[in-house]
């Protein structure tokens, strides 16, 4: 996955008719997530699924990526080669936000203090 993604990112920056600097950046992010992130299989799956969807969607004309990012400085391929690297940020955000969300959820949900005691089924047998 890393070799294929790296070849695609290099092609996008060095050879493609439409330079893909954003894709190369996102590919670099994907590499970092693969080596330092907690969910390597998730990143591999994201690369496969996102790449397939991006290639299919742009080839079918369902959508097209702009030529530059919102700043106008960074060029984008159609589709960007490392789009899956952007999804690594979603994973990281979820991992960082989950403890906070769980703490907040624990504060807003009522606690059940009147739970019946659970006894083994054979406790009444004498």
Total structural domains within the chain: 1
Asked if pLDDT for residue 31 goes beyond 90, the answer is yes
DSSP state of 79: S
Contacts of 87 (CB under 8 A, 6+ apart): 43, 46, 50
- Summarize pLDDT for 61-101 with one digit per residue, the tens: 999 999 999 999 999 999 999 998 888 888 888 888 999 99
Size (the chain), residues: 126
- Summarize pLDDT for 38-57 with one digit per residue, the tens: 888 988 999 999 999 999 99
Q: Say if 38 falls within a structural domain.
A: yes
pLDDT at 21: 97
Which residues constitute the domain of residue 82? 2-108
Longest C-alpha distance within the chain, in Å?
84
3-state secondary structure 16-78: CCCCCHHHHHHHHHHHHHHHHCCCHHHHHHHHHHHHHHHHHHHHCCCCCCCCECCCCCCECCC
Q: Which of the residue ranges 15-24, 38-47, 111-120 has the most confident prediction, judged by mean pLDDT? A: 15-24
Q: Say if 117 falls within a structural domain.
A: no
Q: Say if 115 falls within a structural domain.
A: no
Model pTM? 0.75
Is the CB of residue 84 less than 8 Å from the CB of residue 46? yes
């Amino acid at each position: 996955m890393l070799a294929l993604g790296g070849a695609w990112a290099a092609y996008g920056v060095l050879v493609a008719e439409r330079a893909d600097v954003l894709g190369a950046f996102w590919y670099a992010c994907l590499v970092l997530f693969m080596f330092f992130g907690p969910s390597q299989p998730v990143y591999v799956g994201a690369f496969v699924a996102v790449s397939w969807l991006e290639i299919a969607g742009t080839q079918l004309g369902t959508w097209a990526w702009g030529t530059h990012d919102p700043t106008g400085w960074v060029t984008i391929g159609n589709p960007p080669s490392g789009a899956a690297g952007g999804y690594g940020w979603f994973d990281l955000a979820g991992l960082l936000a989950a403890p906070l969300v769980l703490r907040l959820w624990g504060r807003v949900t009522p606690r059940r203090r009147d739970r019946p005691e659970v006894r083994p089924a054979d406790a009444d047998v004498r």
